Chain A
Amino acid sequence: DAGVTQSPTHLIKTRGQQVTLRCSPKSGHDTVSWYQQALGQGPQFIFQYYEEEERQRGNFPDRFSGHQFPNYSSELNVNALLLGDSALYLCASSPYGQVYYYYEQYFGPGTRLTVT
């Protein structure tokens, strides 16, 4: 049973560029959340997708957008990259989109984004 997978593992981009990160949820999970983890900090919630729609969003600018596909996989897009966007981006999945606040979320290994 495959867990949450993310690609790529590492990415180096230049300020002002755009980036797309990908996530495949754990088998049987239909809800995907994205988190940003700056060095030495706890993860910060970006947004969550369920049934191909953004269900909830954290305090992140519109430069951060996402998408969920019919197979429940998801993409995180960041436009006009800033140096401060350098972080580990974590994808998490959870089951049963209707009942969620008490389910543990399963995290992927993350994508390390470096903006120079």
Chain B
Amino acid sequence: AQKVTQAQTEISVVEKEDVTLDCVYETRDTTYYLFWYKQPPSGELVFLIRRNSFDEQNEISGRYSWNFQKSTSSFNFTITASQVVDSAVYFCALSEKDNQGGKLIFGQGTELSVKP
């Protein structure tokens, strides 16, 4: 069964701290994509990053970086030097190739609060 788990419900940091958001997933499919979305108070989900199941190379994009490890089924997301504007709910999501419609399976979300 497909499942995404974000064990951290809420995280609070002080501005300029680094913060890592955890994500663990379950899937039987061998081909899948993992996503991170941000949901600010306005409600609109904003796409941040995407990683496919065949590419475990970790990357950095500006203040964002991610660590994808198939061996532990984890796809963690790090914000470096956090800013107040990073305050939002962050969702990890899974999309499987066998699931031809491309539906996204979301975790419960992690609410990040960055204090000045």
Shortest beta-carbon distance from B26 to chain A in Å = 15
User: Interface with B: A12-20, A61-69, A105-113, which one?
Assistant: A105-113
Q: How far is the CA of A77 from the CA of B4 in the complex (A)?
A: 28
Give the chain A neighbours of B109 by CB distance below 8 A: 40-42
Q: B45 and A101: CB pair below 8 A?
A: no
Number of interface residues of A (CB under 8 A): 29
Q: B43 and A88: CB pair below 8 A?
A: yes
Q: B44 touches which one: A100, A101, A109 (CB < 8 A)? A: A109
Number of interface residues of B (CB under 8 A): 30
Give the chain B neighbours of A104 by CB distance below 8 A: 35, 47, 50
Shortest beta-carbon distance from B4 to chain A in Å = 8
Shortest beta-carbon distance from A77 to chain B in Å = 19
Q: With A56-B103, A100-B102, A102-B50 as given contacts, are A107 and B96 in contact (CB-CB < 8 Å)?
A: no
Shortest beta-carbon distance from A93 to chain B in Å = 12
Q: How far is the CA of A46 from the CA of B52 in the complex (A)?
A: 24
Q: How far is the CA of A33 from the CA of B45 in the complex (A)?
A: 13
Q: A-contacting residues of B (Cβ < 8 Å)?
A: 4, 31-33, 35, 37, 42-47, 50, 52, 91, 93, 95-97, 99-109
Query: Can you list 29 A-B pairs with a CB-CB distance of less than 8 A?
Result: A31-B102, A33-B103, A40-B109, A42-B4, A42-B106, A42-B108, A42-B109, A43-B45, A43-B91, A43-B106, A45-B104, A48-B101, A48-B103, A94-B102, A100-B102, A101-B31, A101-B32, A101-B95, A101-B96, A101-B102, A102-B50, A102-B52, A102-B97, A103-B102, A104-B35, A105-B104, A107-B45, A108-B44, A109-B42
